[in-house]
Structure 1
Amino acid sequence: MADAQSDEQAAGLAQVVAVSRSPVHGFSKPREASIRLLPGIGVEGDAHAGTTVKHRSRVAVDPTQPNLRQVHLIHAELHAALAAAGFDIGYGELGENITTAGIDLLALPVGTRLRIGDAQIEITGLRNPCAQIEQFREGLLSQVVVKDAHGEIVRKAGVMGVVVAGGVVRPGQGIETTLPPLPHKRLERV
C-alpha cells in the first residue's frame, strides 16, 4: 500500500482537533474528551453506530443496508472557512464525530485508511448534507454544497467511514494516512 502522507502530515501536523458523539438522533453532537471506536460498529454510544444504516431517511428506504456512515469526519479548515463567511460553528455542531486538521479529507480516494492511535477508519465516501443543515443555520447549505467551474456539485461537509480497527480517539492524536492500491476511486456521496 502506498503511503499518502504529505509533507505537513510527515511533520506531524495531521491530527485530531476534537471528538464528538450523541446517543440521540439530532443535528449536532456534543464534544467529548475521547470517543471509543468499535470495529464494524462505529462510535460507542453514538446514535449512528451499528452494522446497518442508522440515518433515518436510509432506514426508511431499506433498514438492512450496510452502514457505510459509522464515523463522520470534518476538517477544521471547513470550520475556519465558514467562520470567514460569517458562520460561527463549533466542532461537533455539524454532526461530525472527529474533527481533523492538516489533512485534505475531501481529496482522499475511497478506501483510504486513517490510523489514529490503535483505531483505523476506512473512508467510504462524502457526506451529503440535507435540508437539516439549513434549519440549523440559514444559508449554511450554500456554503457546504457548491458548484465548481464545470457545473459539478462539490460537497464540502466532510467524509464518512467505517471502523476497521477499534481504539480510543482523543484530540491531539496524530493521523496517519494510507492510500488504497491504484487505481483510486473518487469519493462519491454515501
Structure 2
Amino acid sequence: MAEILALCISEKKGTEKVDAGEAEFIEDYGIKGDAHAGNWHRQVSLLSYEKIEEFNNRGISVKFGAFGENIVVKGIDLAKLPIGTKLRIGEILLEVTQIGKKCHDRCHIYYTVGDCIMPREGIFSRVLKGGIAKIGDKIEIDQWNNL
C-alpha cells in the first residue's frame, strides 16, 4: 500500500503549490481552497515521489508542490495506471481521468532547470467521494471499484 507524503494547494493557477499537511476533498469539485478545483476532469493532480527523487538526483532540489501537484504519493508508479482507475484514501475515492498533460506555458521549474516532469509523470483525477486526507494516510488502488 502506498503513502501520501504531501498534500499541496495553491490559491492561483500557474503558481507553485504549498504543502498544507491535510486537505478537504469535495465530491465533483476537488480540493477545498485549490485554484484547480472545479467542475472539470482535472480536479486533483498526483505525482509519484520516486519520480520527484529521480528529478532531484540530477542535482536540483525541488520542494513538494513545485510541479503543481496536489498529492505526492510514495509507492505507486502513478503514470502507469490506466484511465478509469479508482484510488482510495480512507473514505475519499478518486478516479484517474488523464495521464500527463500538455504545458501551454513553461513553469518556473522548466525555466530554472530546463525540464518539468509533470507533463510526463503527473496524473489527474476527479473526486467521486469526498473527505479529509492528511500526510501519512494510505492510498491504494480500489479493487472493488475497478472490477
Whether these two folds match at TM > 0.5 is yes
Equivalent pairs counted in the alignment come to 142
Q: Match for 2:98 among 122, 125, 144?
A: 125
Do the aligned residues in 2 keep the contact of 1:27 with 1:94 (CA within 8 Å)?
no
1:138 aligns with 2:113: yes
Q: How far apart are the structure 2 equivalents of 1:40 and 1:102?
A: 26
Q: Match for 2:49 among 61, 76, 79?
A: 76
| SS of match in other structure, 2:113 | coil
Q: Which residue of 2 aligns with 1:16?
A: 4
The letter of the residue matching 2:38 is: G
Do the aligned residues in 2 keep the contact of 1:129 with 1:157 (CA within 8 Å)?
no
- Residues 59-113 of structure 1: CA deviation (Å, up to 9, x unaligned): xxxxxxxx11000000111110001112211111111111000011011111111
Larger Cα-atom Rg: 1
Q: How far apart are the structure 2 equivalents of 1:84 and 1:102?
A: 18
Q: Which residue of 2 aligns with 1:30?
A: 18
The alpha carbon displacement at 1:117 in A equals 1.3
Q: Match for 1:85 among 36, 43, 58?
A: 58
* TM-score, length of structure 1 as denominator length: 0.70
Instruction: Give unpaired runs (5+ residues) of structure 1.
Output: 1-8, 52-66, 146-154, 182-190
Q: How far apart are the structure 2 equivalents of 1:98 and 1:35?
A: 10
Q: Which residue of 1 aligns with 2:72?
A: 99
Do the aligned residues in 1 keep the contact of 2:23 with 2:132 (CA within 8 Å)?
yes
Q: Could you tell me the percent identity over the aligned residues? A: 32
Q: Which residue of 1 aligns with 2:141?
A: 177
Instruction: Give unpaired runs (5+ residues) of structure 2.
Output: none
* TM-score, length of structure 2 as denominator length: 0.89
Q: Which residue of 1 aligns with 2:89?
A: 116
RMSD: 1.6
Q: How far apart are the structure 1 equivalents of 2:123 and 2:10?
A: 18
- Structure with higher strand content: 2
1:83/1:129 Cα in 2 relative to 1: closer, same or farther (>3 Å)? farther
Runs of 4+ in 1 over 3 A off after TM superposition: none
The alpha carbon displacement at 1:129 in A equals 4.7
Do the aligned residues in 2 keep the contact of 1:121 with 1:161 (CA within 8 Å)?
yes
| SS of match in other structure, 2:51 | helix
The alpha carbon displacement at 1:140 in A equals 1.4
- Residues 152-186 of structure 1: CA deviation (Å, up to 9, x unaligned): xxx533100000000111110011203534xxxxx
